[in-house]
Amino acid sequence: MRRVVRVFWGPRPEPAETLAGRWRQTVEHVTELLPAAAPPVRGEWRQVHASGPDTACAPDDLTAVLLDAQAAEAWSDLTGTGLRLMHTGADGWAVELSGVAGGAPQFLMQSLVMTVDAPDGAVVPESELLAMLASVWEPDFGDVSDDDILDALEDDAGFTVGDPVVGRFGYLSAARAVLVPDGPEAVRQDTLGGGRLLHIAAPGDIDTVVRAYGRLRDAGALAPLPRPLDRPTL
């Protein structure tokens, strides 16, 4: 089964050295949390390029890799610096990290998206992965979703790609977290730094995700950041 663990934020200019530190923490924690997908004994992470074959990318190489990416993209100070890494384990396990960060865009969010492929029935620590990304990247919002969840939110709840969203789990920054409604259908919350990690539904329970999304959106907790973007979080 494939799922995505994602975090998003607005403009936050950062030098390559700072971004490399965030990327390094991410790949180290992924190796700890997903040893079947990214076992350290099975070789390095691979960098996926827009053209040409992928290449080895060790954690110690990340600063140089990001500096090269910035040099190749004249607008990286505005759009952010992109990087895509992957690691393949055995028995159907794989993980990919794709991010754009460090820029000051006016309309498109910065992001880190983790795609995890796992054998059917395998246990994936989804909430821990989302909590890790939130801790490392300090985002505005995040989610754990799959294609079925995102299709249902678009078809049944009016979700538009690019707007804040939650899935089986969600993360909301501090200003969003205070808007989470109480009541009999309130979701379980864990404090995470200044934000909140939301436990919304079990795998396959799409109806609960759709209802929770509607309540959070109506309460203002999933309001889009105003455009043009001028801050990283609500």
Successive 10-residue mean pLDDT values, the chain, 234 residues: 96 97 96 88 82 91 94 88 94 95 96 96 95 97 97 94 95 96 76 90 94 96 96 97
Supply the pLDDT for residue 43. Answer: 62
d(CA 83, CA 216): 31
Supply the pLDDT for residue 186. Answer: 66
Supply the pLDDT for residue 172. Answer: 97
On the question of a cis peptide bond just before residue 125, with omega within 30 degrees of 0, the verdict is no
d(CA 208, CA 169): 11
Supply the pLDDT for residue 208. Answer: 95
Residue 155 belongs to what H/E stretch?
helix 147-157
| DSSP-assigned letter for residue 169 | E
Supply the pLDDT for residue 216. Answer: 96
**Any idea what the Cα angle at residue 89 is, between residues 46 and 53, rounded to 5°?**
30
Neighbour tally for 148: CB within 10 Å: 12
| DSSP-assigned letter for residue 60 | G
Supply the pLDDT for residue 74. Answer: 80
Name the residue among 114, 113, 122 with its Cα closest to residue 93: 122
Sign of CA dihedral 100, 158, 5, 143: positive
| DSSP-assigned letter for residue 29 | H
Supply the pLDDT for residue 205. Answer: 95
Supply the pLDDT for residue 194. Answer: 83
Residues 54, 65: contact at Cβ < 8 Å? no
| DSSP-assigned letter for residue 224 | P
Which positions ≥6 away from 82 have C-beta within 8 Å? 69, 73, 76, 98, 99, 100
